[in-house]
Chain A
Amino acid sequence: MPETVPNNHRRQFFGAGIRGAFLFVLGAATSLFARYTQKEKMVWQIDPSKCVQCTNCATKCVLQPSAVKCVQAYPMCGYCKLCTGYFEPQPNRLNTAAENQLCPTGAIIRTALEYPYYEYTIEESLCIGCAKCVKGCTLFGNGSFFLQVRHDRCVNCNDCSIALACPGHAFKRVPASQPYLLKNREHQA
């Protein structure tokens, strides 16, 4: 009688082990399947080719200042001495005096490079996304200034309040793994 007990325990042990292993494999397979079929997280972004520079990006965002900022496509930029995104339409001199600057918040920095070229960079902490410089650059230049939603600050609302007000329907959902719609030289040539 006492000899039958260990056999019984061994069978129970193996049975429980097999059931455990089966459950483990099932769980792992379910987890892999769920991960495989899971939709990627999407975020808001502006399609630069549809942006009409309406100023809504500065006024409609739930954040103050807006999560939309001007960005500079350096490969496209002409590094112009007379940058129409930086200077007022009719500057009295091509210098950094406030009255000659187009940006009302002074968010563009002009740095001299090799003659006759100048580099223009955006100071994001000052940019409110009004698109005034984008308009100047796009109209006269080659459009290297353009607006983008900056994802280090965007709270990714389900209903983006700028997207709802965008007259150019330029806002779209893009995968979070590729959150920017950048311009390059192909847009120019």
Chain B
Amino acid sequence: MRVNGLARRLPSIGTSQIVALLVILAANWIVSPQFFDIRMQDGRLFGSLIDVLNRGAPVALLSIGMVLVIAMRGIDLSVGAVMAICGAIAASLADSHALPVVLAAALGAGLACGLWNGFLVAVLGIQPIVATLILMVAGRGIAQLITEGRIVTFTSPDLAFLGGGSVLGLPTPVVLTLGMLVLTLLIVRGTALCLMIEATGGNPRAAALAGIGTKLITVAVYMWSGLCAALAGIVASADILGADANNAGLWLELDAILAVVIGGTSLFGGRFSIILAVVGALIIQAMNTGILLSGFPPETNLVVKAVVVLTVLLAQSPRLGGYFAGLPFNRPKP
């Protein structure tokens, strides 16, 4: 009798997220009948739907890393700043170095940022929200240091391809996001990391007593989040052919957290779904696009987001969860 309640909370089902996405897409179609129109032009697909995927790519990338961090009962507030840093590095190097060097430098910087966060959380034992706040504040300054406060532009077609090009008709950012999603799924679901992350997030003491190297996994997960943020930063830079240290990735950490929460992963750790986090990111982007298309001021977006956060949170609330799902066990608090 209680299984149903529990099953409803399991993100692996995910019907509600898919339905939500479809409803929003349908709403978009109602306000803008051309919404589903897709046309081919110069070997690349165009259309509102493609636009949702393309613009949703950075947040989707961030959410891939963020979902792992949150599943471990952590949080990574620094991803927006890391995006800015890595975007700045990529843009500054793009015209003087070959693409592999540019990518290696930017992705390496992302990994280093993640290592720093992981070190603070796992080794120094600082609460995640505090530990990642440091880089959130300082990171944007570091990015501006790299760009020397200017908006660095570049002309390298190689890097530009990552933002504006297309592969098999799909915009490169979409392909990169898909690639990252598949890679992450392979690494996490293809190894035992998935089980270890869920066990650690679900009950850290039990996981440690079962012999799981929780510290190492924590560091690895923050590094992966840094890597995802770096890729998002590269895509964002490549898209605008430049790096704007002030605005690149600004507040996107919040969108990424929101995407994860919409994707059904609890902020208290445990079961997670990477795919649904990406779906969450698409839901957010579809709402954005929908509001634009409907002619409402784009500013409405934030209000809608606030309502969505609250609704999802209340549905996930331990109190309400306790009342409605009738769970026989209480989720431990973080």
Q: A and B: partners? A: no
**Taking beta carbons and an 8 Å cutoff, which residues of B are in contact with A?**
none
**Taking beta carbons and an 8 Å cutoff, which residues of A are in contact with B?**
none
